[in-house]
Structure 1
């Protein structure tokens, strides 16, 4: 059993990750901004606590003694999207380095996977302009991880282009590299529940140290 701290536990991906971690017998600390809104997350092996992922002192206290730290956060209505992801990544990296808070596993974004060698999806002509700022902010957080001290073991699990919140848990997925993954019909998709399996596998095994990798069917 490992102590796993999940930041952003109240979101769709966070909830799936908390459930998967608890089902495997881990001790889970589910970090949310407002515990009164997420009381339903509590259960066997799951403790719900309040925390601000951009506050390094809070983060350090929460991750101390953890075997794995998962970053599944997303900005809220009052957050500055341009700085939120980098602030969260920076606080997590510093806290893990300071406390020895275990392996850091983050949730990535398909926009910065490679559509072709050396060409990210977000840099292709057809990428929607309205999503550029979000993609750039997410990609900047990946750069923060790349600059992390060598003592910080991190990896980023990147979901497929179609991230299905209603999809079943089939127990199957493929893990690739930094390129976009698609099936034989050209579809790039994964359910949240199967994505959570990939996140927990990475949390337990650390098979992709200090890099990001795609997950899809």
Structure 2
């Protein structure tokens, strides 16, 4: 049975990942900043700031999921530095690192020169977040010493959506379903993430997922 560590396990996406992994029978440990925030009693809890996590803390795990999120102007650069920290801890190990990514860095052209966040209709309010997450991905691509996987969600990422199990996988480019929609719930996103743990189809690659 694989042992999975989830960093940021108390957040809404982290919670969905914990629940999905536990439901599939994995041994799950959530790293959180508040001991009372993990609702799933079948998951273990470690109270520790992400930047205080050490290589010793992670050495017994098979997979680390990075579900860290930052939303304020002051904390947005932490998307880059937090991922750097986790990569350094897992460097030259067999421990996989799966990253909860963003949709803004998906490409909209075959040449991969234009990203979703470059489009005129991309909301200005989300551009700083998209740029920081995109920069983190760019640096992640240079880490040949880490078994990383980056999963981008649909453009409409729905925290409170239902778990349907109806998902479509894509690659580096933005895509839509038969209805012309790019949307997915946090719960369905969690399915794709845990599926990737089981299948290991995207080592040192970025892929994407939307609702069917």
TM-score normalised by L of structure 1: 0.90
Match of 2:176 in 1: 182
Distance 2:76 2:25 in 1: 37
SS at match of 1:81: coil
Q: Report how far residue 191 of structure 1 moved.
A: 1.3
Match of 1:125 in 2: 120
The reply to whether residue 26 of structure 1 matches residue 20 of structure 2 is no
Of 1-10 and 124-133, deviating more is 124-133
Kept after mapping to 1: 8 A contact 2:30/2:38: no
Q: Report how far residue 101 of structure 1 moved.
A: 5.9
- Match of residue 60, structure 2, among 54, 60, 65: 65
TM-score normalised by L of structure 2: 0.92
The reply to whether residue 194 of structure 1 matches residue 188 of structure 2 is yes
Q: Report how far residue 185 of structure 1 moved.
A: 2.2
Distance 1:164 1:134 in 2: 17
Q: Report how far residue 130 of structure 1 moved.
A: 2.0
Distance 1:51 1:216 in 2: 32
Residue ranges of structure 2 left out of the alignment (5+ in a row):
none
The reply to whether residue 111 of structure 1 matches residue 90 of structure 2 is no
4+ long deviations beyond 6 Å: none
The reply to whether residue 15 of structure 1 matches residue 15 of structure 2 is yes
Distance 2:139 2:47 in 1: 24
Kept after mapping to 1: 8 A contact 2:94/2:147: no
Question: What is the CA RMSD across the aligned residues, in angstroms?
Answer: 1.7
Match of 1:5 in 2: 5
Distance 2:131 2:192 in 1: 24
- Aligned pair in 2 of structure 1 residues 17, 39: CA closer, same or farther (>3 Å)? closer
Kept after mapping to 1: 8 A contact 2:99/2:151: yes
Deviation string, structure 1 residues 52-111 (Cα, Å, up to 9, x no partner): 2233xx24232111100000111266x83342011111111010116x261100011011
Q: Larger helix proportion, structure 1 or 2? A: 1
Q: Report how far residue 155 of structure 1 moved.
A: 0.6
Residue ranges of structure 1 left out of the alignment (5+ in a row):
none
Distance 1:12 1:80 in 2: 21
Distance 1:24 1:171 in 2: 14
Kept after mapping to 1: 8 A contact 2:15/2:38: no
- Aligned pair in 2 of structure 1 residues 35, 110: CA closer, same or farther (>3 Å)? same
SS at match of 1:28: strand
- Aligned pair in 2 of structure 1 residues 62, 101: CA closer, same or farther (>3 Å)? farther
Match of 1:51 in 2: 48
